[in-house]
Structures are given as structure tokens and as C-alpha cells.
């Protein structure tokens, strides 16, 4: 995708089927989650996932601003996904571009699907995601962090929400794409799972896949999400166990 | 919908109907509203089409103008898709900066056109790094009676198919038809309880538990997807919907190809 006019397309899979960073097709990048990292927020989490660094904070339930957005039957979920100008190779203009606004919308809707918003009418639950360093998969990293931050804030939810992307590189499906694989691969399917129901609350796709490839991609994504779920739970356990210093780690 | 009581009553009614395999407007769960395409609706555009999907009306105008390639794609023309849900289309929308709904709409339509490689952007390059064609796909929502996405992509593809590259006007060569290589079609479904219904109306979108848009191409590939709104789909649901989207997609492609 976006490869029109690109010059040097890197070799995404070597002769032994290994990826650029040495991973196999079903391997996640190293993932570290820490809960409760910010003082002022109701809940927070920091995610280091491969070369991604993403911070999430949750505020609320609290009064709604602006007032007219208030809803009488449920809490309003206000989600903002933002990338720091220095988080990518070429400086990004600060502020929410259209991509960030779309991602804010789908992440907010994904998380609202597990929140008991009707328990908190006339309030707002603010979810703020800051991408500090980006290397593909930041919407999934943001969702993973935000979901832990919501739990850290003590907001009732039906489940944690792990998320990961599956893509197609050099004709093969691969879990958790890194930047080169995202830029030069053939497709990208980010998804977020509610493990207890087995249902997807975020699902996007761009590229080319047959029906059967998509089916396999979702299977791989669900398995990846189950691993991430364990790391999310470990992060919360560490945060709230006596003497714990708050971290969950992969591998 | 501002009145919460009416909304609640309507939501319960839509849900009860769906349980019985029925819908407010009497359609079947996998039945599209009637589609009417009017290509060339606006003659001041280089390509245009009005699409009516039931009561939903979306107008697309394509304009092609000389521009400069992006620095990271010096050998390619530029494609930009913009959707405006203008205030005349619904009591829900107000004048002001682009709403998040219109941003999502234009991005989901753009993603399907781009991912399907409907337009060969390399052919829109005139002088590498210096001059290219910029293809503006502008969507105007005139009446929002639900499922804007599917109507918008139909309008965009139909408008692109009758667009002419105005070489003579800008003295860049002859005026020739714009080449359209692939024909992506989006099909949108919503969940109402356990029912998965196609081509939702406003009332169905307001009460749904999740919406999924699937773009397919003529070779039977899935080229883009967008899950939207609060709610969830199992992987099994998704595959069922892909199969249904492929059937609707083929029918609508046939319709676009045969509408003159």
C-alpha cells in the first residue's frame, strides 16, 4: 500500500521464512505494559510494543464538557488518539488530522462496547491516547493501553480489550506488522477482541485478501489477542499486588 | 433523534421485528433498497453520478486538475476523496467544520478506491516529481436516509467511470476517458440483536449494535473493511457477511456496468 513510485522495496521474508526483525509469521513483537503511570489521571497505562511507545490516560466519570454533549441515559465516551509530532520519521504537523480523528472514533466505539455506560448517565469518560514513538500498529497499542487504563481507573467493564494487526507480506499472513511490513506489505487488518465473548469490537482492513485468507487472518489475530490479554492482566495484577511495581511483559 | 422516549420505543420495535426476521420497511434481512444510478448528472464536473439507494441520495462530482505529485510518490498522480454531509441532508447535521461522520465516510470510501487500485495513479503522472493530475472525488450527501457509505462509493465509482481527463482544457494533451481498472463495491451490515441486516436505514443505524462495511472487488477479493459504531461481530459473523457482500457486490457491479 502506498508503494506507488517507491524505490527500494525491502525483502520482507528471507529464505528461511524469517521476518526483517527475525520473527516468525506468528510471533508478536516484545510487549511491555505498565499500569498506573500517571499521577493526575483517574487511570493510566504505558505500552512499549516493539518500537512503539504509547501512553493512555482515563479521566472520569466526570462532568461533560461541552455541556450540550451530556446524555441523560448514559455516559459519553470521549476518545482522543493523538500522535506526537516527533513520533514519526518526518515531523508530523501537531494536532488531530483526519486519520487521527477516524482512529479516535473507532477506538472510542470499540471500548464503549465493553463499558457499562448506562451506569453513569450525564457523565463523560475521557480516554486520551498519546503516541510518543510510532512503528506501525499504534491504534492497536493505543487500544491495549487505553483498556488497561480504564481498568486501572476502576471503571466497570465487561472485559479487557486486546488488539493486534494481521497483515500479508510477501504473500504470507503475518501477525503484528512492523513499519516496513506495513508500508510494503499487501494488506493490513487491525482488530480488537473481547476475549470472553469471542467477538471483535474493532476491525478494519485495507489491501487484498481472499475470504479464506481473511478467515485465517482473524484466527491468527484472535490467538495473538489472547496472548496480549494475559500481559494486560499481568500488568494490572502487578499494579495492585503488594510490593508490585506494575508491569506485564512478553517472552 | 432528540426524543429519548421515542428512540427507546422505536429501538425496541426494530429489535422485535428483527427477531421475527422482519424490518420496518418490510424488506428481508438480506435485501437492498432499490438502487438508481444517474451517471453524468452534473455537466460542469469531469465525471459525475447521482445515486439513490432507497431514499438516500448521494451526488458525486469528479474534477481533474493539474497539480504536483507528493514528494514521496514522484511518479504518481494524486487522488483525494472528500465527503460533505451538508446540513440540508438531515436534521442531525449542523453547519460547521467537517463532522467525524463525514471524515469517516470519506476515508472509508477513499480506502476502497485506493485498495482496489481502481485508478492507476502512475498513469496520472505527467512529469515525474513536477506535474501530475489531481483527481478530486467530491461527495455531496443530499438526503441521509441511512447507509451513506454504500451509496457514496457507488456514486464515486460511477462518476469515475464516466469521467474524462480534460487534457485539452489544460493543454496537457488530448481529452480522453479516465481509465478505471477495478470496480470496488461496499456493502454495509448492522447487527440488530442477533440479526445481521444489510443496507440499514437511519432508524436501524440508530438502534444497531455495531456496523460493518465490507468492500469487495470483481475478482472476489476483500479489499477494505470498517467496523464502526458501538457493538461487536464474531469472526464467524464476519465471514458470513463477506460471503453476502460478495453476492451484493457482483449484482451492483453489474448494475454500474450496464447503466449508461
Where residue A62 sits, what CATH number does that domain have?
3.30.230.70
Mean pLDDT over B43-64 rounds to 97
**Residue B92: pLDDT band with limits 50, 70, 90:** confident
Cα B52 from chain centroid (whole Å): 12
What integer pLDDT is reported at residue A223 of this predicted model?
98
- Judge whether A114 and A161 are in contact, CB under 8 Å: yes
Instruction: State pLDDT tens for residues B211-224.
Output: 999 999 999 999 99
- Distance, C-alpha A140 to centroid of its chain: 2
Other beta carbons less than 10 A from residue A51's beta carbon: 15
Q: What is the pLDDT of residue B95?
A: 79
Rounded to 5 degrees, what are φ and ψ at B177? -65, 145
Min Cα separation A243/chain B (Å): 38
Asked if residue A120 is part of any domain, the answer here is yes
The domain tally of chain A equals 1
The pLDDT of residue B192 is 97
Tell me, yes or no, whether A3 lies in a domain.
no
Q: In this model, does residue B189 exceed pLDDT 80?
A: yes
Write out chain A residues lying below 8 Å of B107, CB-based: 98-99, 102
pLDDT at B3: 64
What confidence tier does B90 reach under pLDDT thresholds 50, 70, 90?
confident
Half-sphere exposure of B54 (CA within 13 A, CB side): 18
Contact A198 B235 (CB under 8 A): yes
DSSP B95: S
Q: What are the distances in angstroms from CA A135 to CA A54, A183, A191, B156?
A: 11, 11, 17, 33
- Reported as type and span, the H/E element at residue B47 is strand B47-53
Do residues A33 and A228 touch, judged by C-beta distance below 8 A? Answer: no
Contact yes or no for A229/A162 (Cβ under 8 A):
yes
Minimal-distance CA residue of chain B relative to A101: B100
Q: Could you give the dihedral angle defined by the CA atoms of residues B104, B107, B110 and B115, in that order, rounded to the nearest 10 degrees? A: -110
Residues A176, A28 contacting (CB under 8 angstroms): yes
Could you read off the pLDDT of B125-137 as tens digits, one per residue?
Answer: 999 999 999 999 9
Contacts of B240 (CB under 8 A, 6+ apart): B196
- Region B70-87: what's the mean pLDDT? 94
Q: Is A238 in contact with A248 (CB distance < 8 Å)?
A: yes
Q: What integer pLDDT is reported at residue B260 of this predicted model?
A: 81
Q: Which residues of B touch A (CB under 8 A)?
A: 4, 69, 72-76, 100, 103-104, 106-107, 111, 114-115, 121-122, 210, 212, 217, 220-235, 237-239, 242-243, 246
The Cβ of residue B181 has, within 10 Å, a number of other Cβ atoms equal to: 11
In contact, B148 and B134? CB cutoff 8 Å: no
Whether residue A40 is contained in a domain is answered as yes
Q: pLDDT at position B98, please?
A: 86
- Residue A200 to residue B232, Cβ atoms within 8 A: yes
- The DSSP output letter for A157 is B
pLDDT tens digit string along A175-234?
999 999 999 999 999 999 999 999 999 999 999 999 999 999 999 999 999 999 999 999
Asked if A245 and A238 touch (Cβ cutoff 8 Å), the reply is yes
pLDDT at site B91: 83
Q: Beta strand pairing status for B131-143 and A187-194?
A: unpaired
Chain A residues within an 8 Å CB radius of B233? 199-200, 203
Domain limits at A126?
31-246
CB B18 within 8 A of CB B195: yes
Residue B69 main-chain phi, psi, to 5 deg: -65, 155
Would you give the end-to-end CA distance of chain A in angstroms? 31
Euclidean distance between CA atoms B171 and A187, whole angstroms: 38
Task: Return the pLDDT at A5.
Answer: 45
- How far is the C-alpha of B70 from the C-alpha of B189, rounded, in Å? 35
Please state the separation of Cα B145 from the chain's center in Å: 14
A168 part of a folded domain:
yes
Residue-by-residue DSSP string for A107-122:
HHHHHHTTB-GGGSTT
Residue A17, domain member (yes or no):
no
The verdict on residue A161 lying in a domain is yes
pLDDT for residue B2: 53
Spell out, as residue ranges, where chain A has pLDDT lower than 70.
Answer: 1-8, 242-251
Rounded Cα distance between B28 and B30, Å, is 5
Is residue A45 a part of any domain in this protein? yes
Report the distance separating Cα B50 and Cα B142, nearest Å: 10
* Dist. CA A141–CA A214, nearest whole Å: 21
Q: Is A83 exposed, middle or buried (0-12, 13-18, 19+ CB in 10 A)?
A: buried
* Cβ contact A204–B227 (<8 Å): yes
In the prediction, which pLDDT does A242 show? 61
Q: How is domain B34-258 classified at the CATH fold level? A: Ribosomal Protein S5; domain 2 (3.30.230)
Q: What are the residues facing A13 on neighbouring strands?
A: A19
Name every residue whose Cβ is closer than 8 Å to that of residue B130 and which is 6 or more positions away in sequence.
B68, B69
Strands A76-83 and A123-133: parallel
Distance to chain B for A6, nearest Cα, Å = 7
Is the Cβ pair A204, B229 closer than 8 Å?
no
Strand ranges, E, within chain A: 31-35, 43-49, 52-63, 76-83, 123-133, 163-169, 172-175, 187-194, 199-209, 248-249
DSSP state of A220: H
Domain annotation covers residue A1:
no
Pick from A4, A206, A211: CB nearest B242? A211
Q: How large is the ipTM?
A: 0.87
Amino acid at each position: 500500500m502506498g508503494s506507488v513510485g517507491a524505490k527500494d522495496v525491502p525483502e520482507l521474508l528471507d529464505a528461511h521464512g524469517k521476518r526483517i526483525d527475525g520473527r516468525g509469521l506468528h510471533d508478536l513483537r516484545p510487549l511491555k505494559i505498565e499500569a498506573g503511570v500517571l499521577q493526575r489521571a483517574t487511570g493510566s497505562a504505558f505500552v512499549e510494543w516493539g518500537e512503539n511507545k504509547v501512553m493512555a490516560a482515563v479521566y472520569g466519570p466526570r462532568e461533560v464538557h461541552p455541556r450540550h454533549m451530556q446524555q441523560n441515559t448514559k455516559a459519553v465516551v470521549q476518545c482522543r488518539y493523538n500522535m506526537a509530532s516527533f513520533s514519526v520519521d518526518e515531523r508530523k504537523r501537531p494536532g488531530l488530522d483526519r486519520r487521527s480523528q477516524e482512529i479516535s472514533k473507532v477506538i472510542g466505539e470499540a471500548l464503549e462496547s465493553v463499558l457499562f455506560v448506562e451506569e453513569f448517565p450525564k457523565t463523560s469518560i475521557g480516554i486520551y491516547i498519546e503516541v510518543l514513538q510510532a512503528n506501525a500498529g499504534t491504534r492497536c497499542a493505543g487500544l491495549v493501553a487505553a483498556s488497561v487504563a480504564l481498568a486501572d481507573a476502576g471503571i466497570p467493564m465487561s472485559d479487557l480489550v486486546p488488539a493486534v494487526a494481521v497483515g500479508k507480506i510477501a504473500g504470507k499472513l503475518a501477525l503484528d506488522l512492523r513499519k516496513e511490513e506495513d508500508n510494503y506489505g499487501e494488506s493490513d487488518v487491525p482488530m480488537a477482541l473481547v476475549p470472553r465473548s469471542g467477538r471483535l469490537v474493532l476491525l478494519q482492513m485495507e489491501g487484498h485478501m481472499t475470504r479464506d485468507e481473511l478467515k485465517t487472518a482473524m484466527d491468527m489475530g484472535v490467538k495473538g489477542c489472547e496472548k496480549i490479554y494475559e500481559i494486560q492482566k499481568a500488568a494490572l495484577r502487578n499494579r495492585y499486588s503488594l510490593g508490585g511495581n506494575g508491569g506485564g511483559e512478553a517472552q | 433523534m432528540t426524543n429519548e422516549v421515542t428512540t427507546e420505543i422505536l429501538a425496541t420495535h426494530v429489535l422485535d421485528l428483527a427477531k421475527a426476521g422482519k424490518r420496518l420497511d418490510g424488506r428481508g434481512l438480506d435485501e437492498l433498497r432499490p438502487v438508481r444510478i444517474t451517471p453524468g448528472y452534473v455537466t460542469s464536473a469531469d465525471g459525475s453520478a447521482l445515486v439513490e439507494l432507497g431514499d438516500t441520495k448521494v451526488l458525486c462530482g469528479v474534477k481533474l486538475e493539474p497539480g504536483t505529485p507528493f514528494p514521496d510518490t514522484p511518479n504518481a498522480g494524486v487522488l483525494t476523496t472528500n465527503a460533505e454531509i451538508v446540513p440540508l441532508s438531515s436534521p442531525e447535521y449542523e453547519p460547521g467544520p467537517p463532522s467525524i461522520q463525514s471524515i469517516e465516510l470519506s476515508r472509508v470510501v477513499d480506502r476502497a478506491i485506493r485498495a482496489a487500485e481502481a485508478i492507476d495513479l502512475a498513469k496520472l503522472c505527467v512529469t515525474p516529481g513536477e506535474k501530475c493530475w489531481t483527481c478530486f472525488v467530491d461527495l455531496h450527501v443530499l438526503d441521509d436516509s441511512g447507509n451513506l457509505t454504500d451509496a457514496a462509493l457507488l456514486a464515486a465509482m460511477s462518476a469515475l467511470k464516466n469521467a474524462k481527463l480534460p487534457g485539452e482544457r489544460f493543454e496537457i494533451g488530448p481529452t480522453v476517458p479516465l481509465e478505471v481498472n477495478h470496480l470496488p463495491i461496499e456493502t454495509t451490515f448492522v447487527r440488530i440483536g442477533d440479526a445481521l441486516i444489510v443496507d440499514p436505514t437511519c432508524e436501524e443505524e440508530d438502534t444497531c449494535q455495531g456496523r460493518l462495511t465490507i468492500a469487495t472487488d470483481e475478482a472476489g477479493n476483500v479489499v477494505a473493511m470498517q467496523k464502526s459504531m458501538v457493538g461487536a461481530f464474531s469472526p464467524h459473523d464476519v465471514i458470513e457477511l463477506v460471503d453476502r457482500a460478495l453476492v451484493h457486490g457482483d449484482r451492483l457491479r453489474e448494475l454500474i456496468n450496464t447503466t449508461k
